[in-house]
Each structure stands twice: as C-alpha cells, then as structure tokens.
Amino acid sequence: MLAYLIRRVIFATLLVFLVSSASLVLARLAPGDFTVALLGDRARPEAIERTRAQYGLNRPIADQYRDWIAHAVRFDFGRSWLYDTPVATLVRDRAANTAILAVTALAAATLIGLPLGILTGSRRAGVMTQVIRGASLVLLSLPPLLTSLLMVLIAARTGWFPIGGMGSESADVAWHLVVPAVALALPIAAMFERLQAQAMAEVVGQPYVLAAFARGVPRSRIVWRDALKAALRPTAAVYGLVVGSLLSGSFAVEIVTSWPGLGRLMLEALQARDVYLVAGCAAAGSVFIALGTLVSDAALAAVDPRTREA
Amino acid sequence: MRRLGFALLAAAAIAALGAPVLAPHQPDEYFRGLVNAPPTLPHVIDDAGAWHAPFIYPLKLVDRLEQRFEQDRSTRVPLAWFSGGRLVRSPDEARSPLLLGGADAQGRDVFSRLLFGARTSLSMALVAALGATLLGSLLGGLAGYVGGLVDDTLMRVSDFVLVLPAIYVVLVLRAMLRLVLEPREVFLLLVAILSVVGAPFVARGVRAIVRSERQLEYAVAARSLGAGHLRLLARHLLPAASGYIVVQLTMLVPAFIIAEATMSYIGLGFPDPVASWGAMLHDASNTRTLVDFPWLLSPAAAIFLVVLGLNLVLQQAGVNPVTISSSYESSS
C-alpha cells in the first residue's frame, strides 16, 4: 500500500512538472508575445523593446525557465500579466470552479447512468429498455460542445435557467450550475448506462445468479445486491478515463456557457501569450488528472478486491 | 439500425462530394439584403389551396432593427431545376434566392455552407484519422516487434499522452503557432496535430497484437523461411492487426470532427470565409444569435448525424461506442 502511494506521488509530481514546463516553454516559443497582446502589432519598436524588458521577455528562455522553476518549487507561480494578479490565486479560483462543475456532472452522470444501466441490463428487451438504449445512443453521439449549445438554446428559449457566468452566493451558483452541469453530465451518463447495462447483462447470465434465482432469492435483491457487486467493475475501471474526458468536456462546456473555469482561463492565457498563467493552468489541470487517477484506482479497489493485491 | 448508420454516412458523403452541384450557392456568396434571413422552405400548396410545382415565397424585410423577415405571400417563385449547373435554385437569385437553411450574419446561404463545410470538416477528420492510424500502426508495430528499450520508451510516451485530456494537448500545440493562419495552413496543422495526438490510441493496441502474434507458429515459420524483419512485420504481423486498425480509424473520425468543431468554435480553427462546421458554429456563439436565428445551429445537427451514423455502424460491428467518447470528445 505504501509502495503504491509512493509510486502514485512520484507519478503525480512528474506529471505536474512535465506538463507545466512543457506548456511554459511552448507558450514562450510561440510566435508573438505578450507585448503584442498589450500594445497591438503596430506599436513603435522602442515601445515594444521597453515593454519586453519590463516583462523580462528579452531574457533567454533558459534563464526565464530556471527562474520560474526556482520560484515554483516554493509554490510561487509568478504573476499573470493579463490579469495583473498572482497566478496561484487566479488559478486556484478558476480550478475550483472547474472542479465544482466536473464533480457535479460526474455525480449526476453516475446517479442517472448507473441505475438505468442496471435496469436495462437486467431485463429482457422491452419498450422501456429500448427507449433508454436509444436515448443513450443519441446522447453518446452528442459531445459536450453540442449538448451545451443545446442546453443554452433551451435555457434561453424557456427562460427556466440562467445562462452565462456563475453568480456569487451558493444558491445562485447552484442555479447557474444547472445548464453547464447537465450539458457535461448527459454524454457521460449515457456512457455509464451502456457500460453498466453490458456488464449487468453478462453477470445476470452467470450460473451463480441462476442458482440464486432457483433458491428463491427475490429478484430485486439479486439484481441490486448480488449481481450488482460483480457488475460494478467495468464502470469503476472506466472512471480513470472519465477524468480526462470530464476535463476535455468541461473545456467546451465552459466556453459555450461562459462558466469561469480553468478551460476559459487557459484559452485566454494562450491567446495573450501570458506564459506564467499558461504554465499555472497546465499545472492545475495535471493535478486534476493525478487526483483523478488516484480516485479511480481507489474506486476500482473498492469494488474489486483482486486489484488491491497489486 | 446498421442500415440507418450507413444511410447517414452515405448522405454525408453525397453532401460533401456533390456540394458544388447540390448547393444552390457558393459558400462565399453574400446576399447583403438578407442578413440573418430565415429559411425559405419550398411549398407545393399555395394559400388558396391549389397545388403547384415546388415554389418559394420571396422574403420581405419587415423590421430592419430586429432583422425580422416575412414571407411575401402574394408572389410565388417556382424553383428552377438543373439550371446554371445546380440541382435546384431560384430563377431570380438576386432578389429572392433559395435559402434552404436560412442566411447567416453576413447574408450567406447556411445550407450551401453546410454542404461545402462537410467537405472541409469531413476531409480534415478523415485525413487526420488516416494519419493517426498510419503513425500509430508504425510506432505500435515497431514497439511490439523490436521490444526492449524502444518498446519501453514508445509506450511510456504514449501512456503519457493518453493520460492528458486530448483537447488541451491540441489547444496548446495549435496555440504554438501564429493565432491567425491561412485556411490551407490550418488544414495541414490540424491534420498534423490530430495525427500525433491520436496515434497513441492506435499504437497501444497494435503493439499488443504484434507482440502476441510474433510468438505464433506462422510468424516463426515465415521467419525461419527467410523472411526479413520488415517483410514479416508488413506482410504478416500488421495484417493480423488490420481489423483492429480499421475499428480505430472509424473511432477517430468522429473524435476529430468534434475536435475541428471545438477548435474552430473557439476561433483557433478555420478562419471566417472558409465554410467548415466548426467555423459555422462559431457564428452562433452568442446567446442572442442562437435564440433569434436557430438555423445557425444546423452544423451542430450535421455533426450529430455523422457521429451517430459512425456510432451505429461501430455498434453493429460489436464495438462499444463508449470508448469513442471516453477517448476524445470535447469533445471528444
């Protein structure tokens, strides 16, 4: 267990380090720099030189990178030029927003997708299972970019839910969360439903389930307790993958619904060539990935004792 | 269901290939007086209840500020078939053009742009998917065949790429270059980036297949009969992985269609005059536009139908569509 944890921590540190370094260097090497974003491309050469010196852009990349590393190990990630605030506080706020969105969506997707999958997987084909199955297929073909456009259209037409931004008080935030969270949750719920239905159908065909039926164990108890235990594994195994698609999906959702999360910030930072902010966003994103893999490993270990050995 | 899938894909292919004939207009033809005009749907029955050959009512601007149009019910414009090299168009293109999908904010025909956009979006996704499978098969085949250090290095790198959310990798690589690029540069750049980002998905599986097939009798026999390493890999081992490779190709296409849409939507994909599905969605990126002119969302419907078609075909082939959404989507 300890060896496992140590391995995980090393992996996470390496991931955060590599991803943030790579994006810092890439953003720094990209043509154009923050002075273009600040002064426009018709500024006088002297003005550009002066501003470049002011932001340290005239120094070699290697120097700048070494400086950044030296500060970053002390959790000082520099200042965002675009927002003129410390990168750490800015990224922390936005990352929290993305986390709220992603966790809500994941919870919603699990609460919708799993029970429906258990239902459709444990029954013979009927009208209801066909309807759920069809809905899942449709939703699987709707990536978050499209679901969020659709949700925004519905919300704007009906006026039932607010669109854009996230409000300030917690009740208000929850209210603003509906559109982006549903948009992000729907495709994932469909994925869970399909996976769970398949796993369930396989388990229900097993001899031990038949034996349980033969001994007169009530159907609901078999489905929701005995068979479910074995059938949760495939869905738990995919949780690790879902973290990546949650982040990818939340990028599109944040852009379309104006949710002030990490994705929008990263896009703004990249476009303005705000290199420290780019690195900060990338670091935060990779922390999510590392945490996600940890949580998904834990989830898998919880439903499948065999994986605990390794 | 499988038939429906193939029908959807065939329709998309016909739309893309036949765009110059099927579309009533060029993708960059502007109707300045018809900005944000609604679709002019063909009718066959007029107000008096009499039947006619398909015709449209010309549009009349009733409110310039709100850009509201109304149909002018007093005149009928019968559609002209097979004229001017187009399947169907209006005989009076200058004053009452046939706008099957309405017009966008610059007065361009959405339906025609949708057809021409299919060319851009689908060809980009297809070429990129081919590139990714080619690159992935080569790297995977190499890793599985050679083994050892090469294998370890390649697989570590691909594991690393796989754990990152794909759209962010695409975003950072895209932003590495100038933010404004020529359409042709965008095409090549997106193909290159998506090939690199998609390759690991293919490489992993191909590596596993090559690794296990290499031990089998037929491979050993071919080797002992004097087949060279390259021949063995190209003629015997990679063909064993061909089924897997085809499935991967089919799964990457929808992911890449969505990737193009996302990149163009945020303004880092195809630039304005070009018709691509993502660039068209970019025009619908503000909520007011979306509500007042919902026909601008038609590229979203097109993307959905193509992805659904691919999913249906894959599902019937016994492939779980789940892996598609989990591997990419932003989509993908």
What is the predicted pLDDT for the residue at B326?
38
Amino acid residing at A224? W
Of the pLDDT bands very low, low, confident and very high (cuts 50, 70, 90), residue B318 is low
How far is it, in rounded angstroms, from Cα A158 to Cα A170?
23
Of the pLDDT bands very low, low, confident and very high (cuts 50, 70, 90), residue B325 is very low
Helix axes B242-265, A233-257, angle to 10 degrees: 30
CB atoms within 10 A of CB B88: 17
Q: In Å, how far is A279's CA from the nearest CA of chain B?
A: 11
- Among B10, B14, B225, B4, which Cα is nearest to A137's? B4
Is B175 within 8 Å of A256 when comparing Cβ atoms? no
- In angstroms, how far is the first alpha carbon of chain B from the final one? 23
Q: Which of A141, A157, A289 sits opposite B311 (nearest CB)?
A: A141
What is the predicted pLDDT for the residue at B78?
76
Of the pLDDT bands very low, low, confident and very high (cuts 50, 70, 90), residue B329 is very low
Q: Which residues of B touch A187 (CB under 8 A)?
A: 325, 329
Q: Is the pLDDT of residue A174 over 70?
A: yes
Q: Which residues of B touch A149 (CB under 8 A)?
A: 281, 284, 290, 297, 300
Sign of torsion over alpha carbons B160, B164, B166, B170 = negative
Is B290 within 8 Å of A198 when comparing Cβ atoms? no
Per-residue model confidence as pLDDT tens digits over A116-136: 988 888 877 788 888 988 898
Burial tier of A268 (Cβ tally within 10 Å: 0-12, 13-18, 19+): middle
For tokens 């060539």, name the residue: A273
Is A143 within 8 Å of B258 when comparing Cβ atoms? yes
Is B168 within 8 Å of A251 when comparing Cβ atoms? yes
Alpha-carbon torsion, ordered B163, B166, B170, B173, to 10 deg: -10
Q: In Å, how far is B70's CA from the nearest CA of chain A?
A: 21
**When comparing pLDDT for B11 and B285, which is higher?**
B11
Of the pLDDT bands very low, low, confident and very high (cuts 50, 70, 90), residue B327 is very low
How far is it, in rounded angstroms, from Cα A51 to Cα A49?
5
How far is it, in rounded angstroms, from Cα B281 to Cα B303?
11
Q: Which of B162, B164, B320 to mutate to test the interface with A (most CBs of A within 10 A)?
A: B164
The residues, any chain, with a CB within 8 Å of residue B207's CB and separated by 6 or more, are: B140, B141, B143, B144, B151, B154, B155
- Among B163, B296, B192, which Cα is nearest to A240's? B163
Count of residues in chain B: 332
The residues, any chain, with a CB within 8 Å of residue A209's CB and separated by 6 or more, are: A203, A222, A226, A227
Sign of torsion over alpha carbons B128, B129, B133, B139 = positive
Q: Which of B173, B291, B332 sits opposite A248 (nearest CB)?
A: B332
Which helix (H) or strand (E) segment holds residue A287: the answer is helix A275-303
Pairing of strands B43-45, B51-56: antiparallel
The residues, any chain, with a CB within 8 Å of residue A2's CB and separated by 6 or more, are: none
Q: Which residues of A touch B256 (CB under 8 A)?
A: none
Is A149 within 8 Å of B165 when comparing Cβ atoms? no
A99 vs B: CB within 8 A? no
How far is it, in rounded angstroms, from Cα A98 to Cα A105?
10
Of the pLDDT bands very low, low, confident and very high (cuts 50, 70, 90), residue B324 is very low
**What ipTM goes with this model?**
0.84
- The tokens describing A279, both together, are 């690195």
In three-state secondary structure terms, A64 is: helix
CA B137 to chain centre: 23
Q: Which of B8, B326, B327, B328 to mutate to test the interface with A (most CBs of A within 10 A)?
A: B326
- C-beta separation of A122 from A213 below 8 A: no
- C-beta separation of B162 from B200 below 8 A: yes
In terms of average pLDDT, the best of A23-37, B45-59, B155-169 is B155-169
Maximum distance among all Cα pairs of chain A, rounded to whole angstroms: 88
Residues pairing with B78 in the sheet: B55
How far is it, in rounded angstroms, from Cα B105 to Cα A259?
25
Is A249 within 8 Å of B329 when comparing Cβ atoms? yes
Q: Is the pLDDT of residue A24 over 80?
A: yes
In terms of average pLDDT, the best of B22-26, B51-55, B82-86, B116-120 is B116-120
Q: What residue in A sits closest to B315 (Cα-Cα)?
A: A137
How far is it, in rounded angstroms, from Cα B316 to Cα B294?
33
Q: Which of A145, A267, A293 sits opposite B261 (nearest CB)?
A: A145
Sign of torsion over alpha carbons B2, B8, B14, B16 = negative
Is B304 within 8 Å of A142 when comparing Cβ atoms? yes
Is B179 within 8 Å of A271 when comparing Cβ atoms? yes
What is the average pLDDT score of chain B? 83
The residues, any chain, with a CB within 8 Å of residue B327's CB and separated by 6 or more, are: A241, A245, B166, B201, B251, B255
How far is it, in rounded angstroms, from Cα B31 to Cα B97?
8
Buried b (16+ CB within 10 A) or exposed e, A57-86: beeeeeebbeebeeebeeeebbbbbbbeeb
Which of A 65-94 lie inside 8 A of B, CB atoms? none
Mean pLDDT, range A50-55, rounded to an integer: 74
A101 vs B: CB within 8 A? no
Report the share of chain A in percent with pLDDT over 70.
96
Is B287 within 8 Å of A144 when comparing Cβ atoms? no
Is B165 within 8 Å of A245 when comparing Cβ atoms? yes
Q: Which of A30, A156, A249 sits opposite B287 (nearest CB)?
A: A156
Is B176 within 8 Å of A29 when comparing Cβ atoms? yes
Q: Is the pLDDT of residue B332 over 50?
A: no
Mean pLDDT, range A244-251, rounded to an integer: 86
Q: Which of B251, B266, B288, B308 to mutate to test the interface with A (most CBs of A within 10 A)?
A: B266
Q: Is the pLDDT of residue B25 over 90?
A: no
Quick one: DSSP state of residue B39? Answer: P
Q: Is the pLDDT of residue A30 over 70?
A: yes
Lowest mean pLDDT among A88-97, A171-180, A286-295: A171-180
Per-residue model confidence as pLDDT tens digits over B247-295: 889 889 999 999 999 999 988 888 888 889 988 888 887 777 888 888 8
Q: Which of B176, B262, B312 sits opposite A252 (nearest CB)?
A: B262
Q: Which of A144, A238, A270 sits opposite B171 (nearest CB)?
A: A270
- The tokens describing B153, both together, are 């290095």
Per-residue model confidence as pLDDT tens digits over B107-137: 888 888 999 999 999 999 999 999 999 999 9
Is A251 within 8 Å of B330 when comparing Cβ atoms? yes
Q: What is the residue-wise DSSP string for A69-125? A: HHHHTTT---EETTTTEEHHHHHHHHHHHHHHHHHHHHHHHHHHHHHHHHHHHHS-S
For tokens 């962010």, name the residue: B168
